[in-house]
Amino acid sequence: MDLGAYRPVLANRDTRGALLLGFFIRVPMWAGAVILTLHVVSSLGRSYGEAGLVTAASTVAVAISGPWRGRLLDRIGLRRTVGPSLLVQVVCWSIAPWVDYASLIGFAALAGLFVVPTFSILRQVIIRSVPAEQRRTALSLDSSATELSFMAGPAIGVWLATAYDTGWALLVCELTSVAAGFVLWVVNPPLTSETSTPATDEQGEAARADAIATAETGTGASEGTASSGAPRAVRGFITVPVAAVYLAAACSTLVLSGTDVSIVAALRTFDATQSIGWVLALWGAGSLVGGLVYGAWHRSFSVFWLLGGLAALTLPVALAVGVPTFAVLVTLSGLLCAPTITATVEQLSRLVPERFRGEMMGWHGSAMTAGSAFGAPLAGFAIDHGGWQWGFVVVSVLGVLVAAAGLVAARRFRGEPTAADEAKGPGADSERGVPAASMEH
């Protein structure tokens, strides 16, 4: 482990700016999610289940919009994608805090469809701004910054919702998020190394469209070209190995969302509901430490090894007999959260040609959202029928099975060239921390 690996990454102005901007964008985002739930329950007098429906409507909309918004980033650039989103966000969140329950669901869903794809944008900036050998370290820093914002955002949201009217708190928080998105629009960081700014004139748009068409049909000699020996691609970049990484991303958030629900259920069973906040903070701290260690490590690991480790570390939490042992085991279970998410992004960035990176990140976000949406009810069903321990057991066992299946399936594709490999020519893998076509090492 070499902590000095972080020095050149943090010395890079683009990377440093993306990390700071990402933190300040995500804090109001996490806070807004908490305030929205409290607004439905306290101000509108609805149940937590009905508050969950509002969150579900927004979550489904975000999942649907991910690939679409990512494809727009690839085709027309940051400003032309983000600009309309900012306008829709301002309109929706200026009205939503003052409407009834049914209307709030509609506004939340509309805002979700036009959400600013900040995760996709900032990770693209980070991937573009560092050399390949520093990519894992930079992405680990982004995951760690996300953990910090997640630890701060909900606490700020609860404070705002209890100290002020939830309608005004929701308005201020969401418009702060829009303001952060506007800063991103103004800065307009380049997303790929192919061009520093999106094509804006007629000639540039034609060149961009031609490049995308060439990559999708595989007829050019560009980065996106693949030989007949490469895995067949869907939409220009989704091969079987890429789809497998998306499955791993979905399963990782399935484990995490199931763990989240199970933590709450366990502490309620221990009659320690007041401990939920600090136990969740310890879980996040474990992830933060794990992310920093993984970023400083001397090599990358397959996402399936990390997923299997995440699930295996989560399983022993079911053995806790009280709050002290539970807190320790939960902290340990968080160690591989950030590394697993980092590995999915890093591996996709090596498997997918750069010109598809926006859509790649969009599908990645949708996969993680889908896993989260499935994990919580799965763990809830297990808890209802067997107790809080079974919430941890079910999601852990499923995670281990998916990880094992991924490692076995990866052997089939070992040595097969990817689209990116074809462009780089022989010996390209020697420059990488992880072989592009192998998900086992």
Could you tell me which residues come within 8 angstroms of residue 427 by beta carbon, excluding any fewer than 6 positions away? Answer: none
Q: Are residues 270 and 385 in the same domain?
A: yes
Q: What is the pLDDT of residues 84-103, one digit of tens each?
A: 999 999 999 999 999 999 99
This prediction has a pTM of: 0.74
The length of the chain, given as a count of residues: 441
User: Which residues sit opposite 234 in a β-bridge?
Assistant: 238
Q: Are residues 147 and 173 in the same domain?
A: yes
Q: Are residues 10 and 158 in the same domain?
A: yes
Q: Are residues 165 and 235 in the same domain?
A: no
Percent of the chain with pLDDT over 70: 82
Q: What is the pLDDT of residues 132-146, one digit of tens each?
A: 888 888 888 888 888
| Lowest mean pLDDT segment, chosen from 23-37, 232-246, 353-367 | 232-246
Three-class SS state of 238: strand
82 pLDDT above the threshold of 50: yes
Phi, psi of 378 (to 5 degrees): -65, -45
Q: What gap in Å lies between CA 69 and CA 90, rounded to an integer?
A: 18
Q: What is the pLDDT of residues 402-416, one digit of tens each?
A: 999 988 887 766 654
Three-class SS state of 234: strand
Q: What gap in Å lies between CA 229 and CA 160, rounded to an integer?
A: 57
Nearest C-alpha neighbor of 133 from the set 344, 434, 425, 432: 432
What element of type H or E holds 100?
none
The last residue of one of the domains, among 155, 172, 198, is 198
Is 206 within the bounds of a domain? no
Band of pLDDT at residue 2, cut at 50, 70 and 90? low
Is 210 within the bounds of a domain? no
Could you tell me which residues come within 8 angstroms of residue 359 by beta carbon, excluding any fewer than 6 positions away? Answer: 67, 70, 71, 73, 74, 235, 237
Q: Considering all CA atoms of the chain, what is the largest pairwise distance in Å, rounded to the nearest integer?
A: 67
The last residue of one of the domains, among 132, 167, 198, is 198
Residue 297 belongs to what domain range? 215-441
So what's the pLDDT on residue 299?
79
Are 172 and 160 spatial neighbours (Cβ–Cβ below 8 Å)?
A: yes
So what's the pLDDT on residue 241?
84
The last residue of one of the domains, among 171, 198, 225, is 198
What's the structural domain count of the chain? 2
151 pLDDT above the threshold of 90: no
DSSP string, 282-338: HHHHHHHHHHHHHHHSSS---HHHHHHHHHHHHGGGGG--SHHHHHHHHHHHTTTHH
| Lowest mean pLDDT segment, chosen from 255-269, 361-375, 423-437 | 423-437
Q: Mean of the pLDDT values across residues 2-10? A: 78
CATH number of the domain bearing residue 357: 1.20.1250.20
Are 122 and 21 spatial neighbours (Cβ–Cβ below 8 Å)?
A: yes
Band of pLDDT at residue 107, cut at 50, 70 and 90? very high
Are 28 and 180 spatial neighbours (Cβ–Cβ below 8 Å)?
A: yes
Is 361 within the bounds of a domain? yes
| Lowest mean pLDDT segment, chosen from 47-56, 155-164, 289-298 | 47-56
335 pLDDT above the threshold of 50: yes
Q: Are residues 137 and 233 in the same domain?
A: no
DSSP string, 104-131: HHHHHHHHHHT---HHHHHHHHHHHHS-
